[in-house]
Amino acid sequence: MIPTIRPAERADIDQIAELLVADAEERCATDSGLWKLDQNARDKTISTIKTTMEAEKAPFRQQWLIAKAGDRLVGVTHSILLPVPPIYAGEFGPPGLIMEDCCIAQGTPAQTRHELLKAAEADLIGAGALILLASSVPGGAWEAEYAGQGYAPLTKYFAKTRLTRQTPFADVRQATEDDVPGIVAASAVHRRILNDLHPLFWKPHDDADTRFGAWMKRSLTLEDRDMFVSDDVGGIRGYAISHPATPLHFPTPHDISGIGVIDDFFHEAIENPDKLGGSGPEAVALFSVAAAARARRGNHSVLVVCPADWRSKIELLEKQGYRNAITWHIKMVG
């Protein structure tokens, strides 16, 4: 039977939750640390979907599409219009992100995945998206589907579990407000490299320095994160910020309470995106302290954001035992 694809309705929520929990159990079987199931996975999933469907003033657009064969729900996609961070130009508007919690039921023809993807793309394009992003675990069926539909890797999220509370390094310390100008200067180099890697997606905003500096000052007041700098007599050579994980990368059935994220991380050792520089040990020290800070906060795992083409950063992570756990793919449609 050829499935019918349509927007999800409230009456579909229970079946959607069953499918999403089954999909989450498969991820958990591959890595029970990173993809730990929430104790109340089904109830949590039902509650989350209801909230997104019933919100009168949602902070951003979300859409659930389902595939049904008769009375049976056999597939689901979840997408959002991803707000553009204020340090980027965002000339193409909010990209459409097809989330990790997309799946089809066991025994469903693989063509269903293809049709769901095309429907999700059409929905996002109709909502105004000119850039499409799609999330997948490495080697997953959706990764192959994305590649076949013209997507290319954009960002990789490297993960490590069983974190340790490492001994501090002499040239790594907690950041202070006096460090903000130096962090902004290092961030400007970071943003230039991102722009070189993908100018259509990572073009910086004209006021990026001012906006980033304001965010750094505010971040210093937030109790859920740690900010570090690599410092010597020549000034700040790098910075790293670690904070709790968010649902953006983890489907609802998973428990993310023990996972941290290192998003903002830069050191002069990785300024050449093709080759790790001679100050690699100092970069490792900075990075290790940022990860250890999550361990001290009780986290068992950490996720690190890394552009897919930043080879020196990938080399640094892999040497420290990190492996790619999630890939975001990109496709330009406008």
**Predicted pLDDT of residue 303:** 96
Mean pLDDT over residues 312-321, rounded? 95
Considering its fold, how many domains does the chain have in total? 2
How far apart (Å, rounded) are the C-alpha atoms in residues 254 and 245? 12
Look at residue 333 and tell me if it is in a domain: no
227 phi-psi bin (left φ>0, alpha ψ -120 to 50, beta other): beta
Averaged pLDDT score across all residues of the chain: 94
Residues 121, 255 within the same domain = no
How far apart (Å, rounded) are the C-alpha atoms in residues 275 and 256? 33
**pLDDT of 54 above 90:** no
Mapping DSSP onto H, E and C, the string for 161-218 reads ECCCCCCCCCCEEECCHHHHHHHHHHHHHHHHHHHHHCHHHHCECCCHHHHHHHHHHH
Q: DSSP secondary-structure letter at 38?
A: P
Mean pLDDT over residues 219-229, rounded? 96
Query: Residue 153 has which token pair?
Result: 């890797």
Residues 164, 130 within the same domain = no
**pLDDT of 78 above 90:** yes
Domain of 148, in residue numbers: 4-155
List, for residues 89-111, the tens digit of each pLDDT value: 999 999 999 999 999 998 888 89
Confidence at 4, pLDDT banded by 50, 70, 90: very high
Residues 109, 226 within the same domain = no
Lowest pLDDT segment from 159-173, 178-192, 246-260: 159-173
Residues 242, 206 within the same domain = yes
How far apart (Å, rounded) are the C-alpha atoms in residues 24 and 19? 9
CATH number of the domain enclosing 321? 3.40.630.30
- The answer to whether 278 and 128 have CB atoms below 8 angstroms apart is no
Residues 41, 97 within the same domain = yes
Residues 242, 305 within the same domain = yes
- The answer to whether 133 and 84 have CB atoms below 8 angstroms apart is no
Mean pLDDT over residues 51-76, rounded? 90
Residues 165, 311 within the same domain = yes
Last residue of a domain, one of 134, 155, 176: 155
How far apart (Å, rounded) are the C-alpha atoms in residues 304 and 316? 12
Last residue of a domain, one of 155, 178, 208: 155
